[in-house]
Chain A
Amino acid sequence: MGSPVPGAEGTPLAANNSAATSTSPGLSPPTRRGTELFMLAFAAVLVTGALILVEANQEKELTMRIVWLGLAYLGLLTVAHLAVRRWAPYADPVILPCVALLNGLGLVMIHRIDLAMADVKMPNGETWDPAASKQVLWTAIAVVLFCTVLKVLSDHRTLARYGYTFGFAGLVALLLPGVLPSFIAPEINGAKIWLSFGAFSIQPGEFAKILLMVFFAAFLVSKRDLFTIAGRRVIGLDLPRARDLGPLLAAWAVVVSIMVLQKDLGSSLLFFGIVLVLLYVATERAAWVVVGVVLFSGAAVLAWRIFGHVQVRVQNWLDPFVDPYGAGHQILQSLFGLGTGGLFGAGLGGGRPDEIPEANTDFITAVIGEELGFVGLSAVLLLYTVFALRGLRNALAVRDTFGKLLGGGLAFAVAFQIFIVVGGVTKLIPMTGITAPFLSKGGSSLLANYILVALLLRISNAARAPKSTPKPRQQQPAIADQFTVMVERPR
């Protein structure tokens, strides 16, 4: 389990040695919290600049409201930063600034789309409920939740103990909207994935994603050996034994039921991808991926044969011009926006987000591509890449297998989700309609993703904190000086 992460192996070696013999604080491993604060400030400057550009381009007066929004955003960042400082001091310093920048850019874009919609709706006497202020509120709640998770969960391994509980809760959350009657779980835009309570609605699937990942990580870690027993060998691949396919088949069944009950193609693809990656990482055997892809492809082809809405999606992917005003409208408008944006974009506030349907949710990356151009869209994609790769690096660095699996799974989940979203709006793959983490409007998504960040930071703290690396202890000469610890045996 060698790792190139400096904070995990290289520096602590020296640092801990000296920590054992000296009390000099200057030689303790760096927490990099200052770096994080500096990068957060940079993110805040970028986001505030973006907001000013939007207002200027929309010929709005620069009012004090911007200052308040900027201050609110800055305040939330500070709270999150302080929480990390307090409860996960050794956490990766890059992850939170990435999130802050993405979330901030998301808020600016949502506000920008509000302005566009107001321009369209107001002359017709219609009202438009601004989404940005609600999103700021959700961000605040998400940051509170983020802090709570960091405080309550002092060690990510605790989660492994409640694996089955989480798994059950996740399954319920996932399937609930599909089976509940439509007065509480209405079908919106063809997908039955919301729970609606009067004015506010949540998407339990967003939370299910994390709950099920915890379950799978815990389950796979405890039953790891079982899955590494090879069955038959076919063309150089060690296929698993038929009886070991159980969990994979179960996941497949869940995914199929999501497709059938909720018509939510994006989520099914996302879940299945995550399960496959977890299985692959846990067993280190590519055969699982092959079997999984075959299973999923079978289900996908079957769904395409049976369900009209799947056929429509595929048709629009192959040729959106067949029905430009109907089914192909969304993807066409997205492509037109992206094309009009071109290399450098129409400028913040200079695009036509009102032309793109679902601009502030599923298609927010298309709006970014139109206003910030290919350059801006690439920057956003690279932000996600940095985020996911930092998460993965911490998974590599952390020593416990559960942390590795969970961290790797969480990082992959974000990258895969962005692949599905951006791939959909740019016509790389069929449009499936899921949100871009941190960018898109939506409380559930924001809350869930902030929990995801808290977990990643928790794992990275474990990876980088000096005490979690047992190596230096082995080097300590006097065993008599050691104290005994109760080690709880993981269930």
Chain B
Amino acid sequence: MNTPLRRVGMAMMAMILLLLGNATYVQVIKADDYRKNPLNQRVVLDQYSRERGQIIAADGTPLAAVQKTDDRLEYLRTYANGPVFAPVTGYFSFIYGAGGLERAEDDLLNGSDDRLFARRVSDMITGRDPKGGSVQLTVDAKLQQVAYDQLASQGLTGTVVAIRPQTGEVLAMASTPSYDPNLLATHDGDAQEESWQALTTDESEPMLNRAVHQIYPPGSTFKLVVAAAALAEGKTKDSEVDGRPSITLPGTNTQLPNFNDTICGNGTTATLQEALAKSCNTAFAVLANELGADKLRDQAAKFGIGEQDLAIPLSVVPSTIGPIEDKPSLYQTGIGQKDVRVTPMANAVLAATIANGGVRMQPHLVQKILAPDLQAISETEPDEVDEAMEPEHARALRDMMVESEKNTSGGGKLNGVTIASKTGTAEHGVDVSKTRPHAWYVAFAPAEEPQIAIAVIVENGGQAGQLATGGRVAAPIGRAVIGAYLGGR
């Protein structure tokens, strides 16, 4: 009986070897897959057991912090003034993951970032509880509040983006309607699910960050790009351009009229400055055609339109001027219609670039990365991306925008401050006569020494409906934001 017993022994060894082999497969080879699987709650639980870092505004106001709890997820994420800052902070949910900066800076906030490595080691040795790092933003808390209030108090759907032209710091980024990220941070799973359902099925899309994740036809604000290209081609603000009230698109019977069929200049020609100030469609359509699609595309690219993979560090949806397949398209592109689509962020960058003498700075939201003890680990250096315009062309364009501002209706004009601006009233939708236009306002001030550049869009013109224009709806909001910023200095 000993021979079969020995064979049984061999069989037992074989079984154990099989188990060890399979355990190696599961615990060593497949380990990472299993560890990182979204169904594996351990990762989330571990994140919650470590104190997540804060998100704070430029002046130190905490926007996202943590609160110690006595339930299984040790730390509760809390957002002071949630809806105002939601487009910036994003949300942090144990069911739905993270959005906004919570996602973009997750490694730093949860403490796994390499920049925190040395501190993690020292925590391990000294026995301190490991904490995540914090993020200090460029966002001016008061300005953000003003921007949000301007939109929200009127129940508007839209966004305000403000940038410091010299550095690219994003001073404000409001988007309405907004949501309260506290609803998604709660440790009550059912409440979280309910809120998520409500927010994601809401037709007004409160969780959409319109500043960077939505593209709109820029309308007349795009004329700034065309004007810049024309200046680069040797035109001046006094060059004569087309001033007819209406033209026929080549090869079609379609009329392209000026707004309200306005006459520019003498009705045949007008200066470039007057054409921009009065926002003459015919002038810029013809100008676009003269320049050609390539020059237009180049100039747009220099302003950052068409840039892929922009992250501030929130990802920014690429803007585009479209394929421009034929002449009529080129004409329409010249007035920011057809397939031109930009994010409000891109339009704010456009204004900031002109304000900065033609030098385009990389927009960014994060000012400093802070260690858990709030010591700065790194600071964002202003990053010059491109020289979009010659300085004297930028100055010329600025002067033209100052004239434009003088021509712009709407309330809220500021005393003692010269604003350089351009409005836009962008038609969209299949039947443009029935859908209400988007109202745009891009501006910077003070024109002589710009400190702030902004882009404002109010979707579908807000309450003004069909009668909405950039000047009437968006300009007062922009002026209020500029006023608040300059007045607060």
A residues apposed to B, CB below 8 Å? 1-3, 119-120, 123, 277, 280-282, 284, 324, 332, 335-343, 352, 355, 369, 373-374, 377-378, 381-382, 384-385, 388-389, 392, 395-396, 401, 404-405, 408, 411-412, 415-416, 418-419, 422-423, 426-428
Contact = CB atoms under 8 A, between A and B. Distances in A.
Contact of A428 (B7, B11, B18, B34): B18
Interface stretch (B20-28, B374-382, B387-395): B20-28
Nearest to A281: B4
B30 interface: yes
Contact of A339 (B6, B33, B41, B71): B33
A381 B40 CA distance: 26
Contact-residue bracket for chain B: 35 or more
Given A281-B1, A339-B33, A381-B19, A373 B27 contact: yes
Residue of B6, B28, B39 with highest tally of chain A CB at under 10 A: B39
Residue of A1, A401, A422 with highest tally of chain B CB at under 10 A: A422
Contacts of B3: 284
Residue of B13, B23, B37 with highest tally of chain A CB at under 10 A: B23
A95 to B, nearest CB: 15
In order of increasing CB-CB distance, the 4 nearest A-B pairs are: A339-B34, A374-B27, A336-B40, A415-B12
Interface in B22-50: 22-24, 26-28, 30-35, 37, 39-42, 45
B15 interface: yes
A280 B71 contact: no
A133 B116 CA distance: 43
A490 to B, nearest CB: 16
A293 to B, nearest CB: 12
A374 B39 CA distance: 22
B16 interface: yes
B72 to A, nearest CB: 6
A404 B3 CA distance: 12
B42 A336 contact: yes
Interface in B80-126: none
Given A342-B27, A342-B28, A377-B27, A281 B34 contact: no
A298 B425 CA distance: 77
Given A408-B5, A412-B8, 15 more contacts: A335-B34, A336-B39, A338-B27, A339-B27, A342-B31, A343-B27, A352-B45, A369-B27, A374-B27, A381-B20, A396-B2, A404-B1, A416-B15, A423-B18, A428-B19
Contacts of A284: 1, 3-4
Nearest to A325: B39
Chain A, interface SS category: helix
B267 interface: no
B60 interface: no
Contacts of B45: 352, 355
B27 A392 contact: no
Interface in B109-157: none
A423 B20 CA distance: 10
Contact of A426 (B7, B8, B22): B22
A219 B362 CA distance: 87
A368 to B, nearest CB: 11
A123 B70 contact: yes
Contacts of B18: 419, 423, 428
A374 B24 contact: yes
B9 interface: yes
Contact of B41 (A277, A343, A355, A401): A355
Contact of B6 (A355, A388, A396): A396
B465 to A, nearest CB: 48
A418 B40 CA distance: 26
Contacts of B23: 338, 369, 374, 377-378, 381, 422, 426
A37 to B, nearest CB: 27
B12 A396 contact: no
Contact of A340 (B16, B20, B35): B35
B5 A339 contact: no
B72 A338 contact: no
A355 B42 CA distance: 8
B19 A423 contact: yes
A389 B26 contact: no
Contacts of A342: 27-28, 31, 35
Contacts of B37: 336, 339
A2 B3 CA distance: 10
A282 B1 contact: yes
Nearest to B30: A339
B22 A423 contact: yes
Contacts of A119: 72
A396 B10 CA distance: 13
Nearest to A350: B46
A281 B41 contact: no
Contact of A392 (B9, B16, B32, B40): B9
B8 A427 contact: no
Nearest to A375: B27
A419 B27 contact: no
A392 B39 contact: no
A352 B46 CA distance: 9
B31 A339 contact: yes
A277 B120 CA distance: 54
B19 A392 contact: no
Contacts of A392: 5, 8-9, 12
B441 to A, nearest CB: 49
Nearest to B46: A352
A120 B34 contact: no
Contacts of A2: 2
A355 to B, nearest CB: 6
B43 to A, nearest CB: 8
Contacts of A123: 70-72
A343 B28 contact: yes
A177 B6 CA distance: 36
Contacts of B13: 385, 389
30 contacts: A2-B2, A120-B72, A277-B8, A280-B7, A284-B4, A332-B39, A335-B34, A336-B35, A336-B40, A337-B42, A338-B23, A338-B26, A338-B27, A338-B31, A339-B37, A339-B40, A340-B42, A342-B28, A343-B27, A343-B31, A374-B23, A374-B24, A377-B27, A385-B12, A392-B9, A396-B5, A415-B12, A418-B19, A426-B19, A426-B26
B19 A336 contact: no
A343 B26 CA distance: 10
Contacts of B9: 389, 392
B16 A395 contact: no
Nearest to A121: B72
Interface string B441-471: 0000000000000000000000000000000
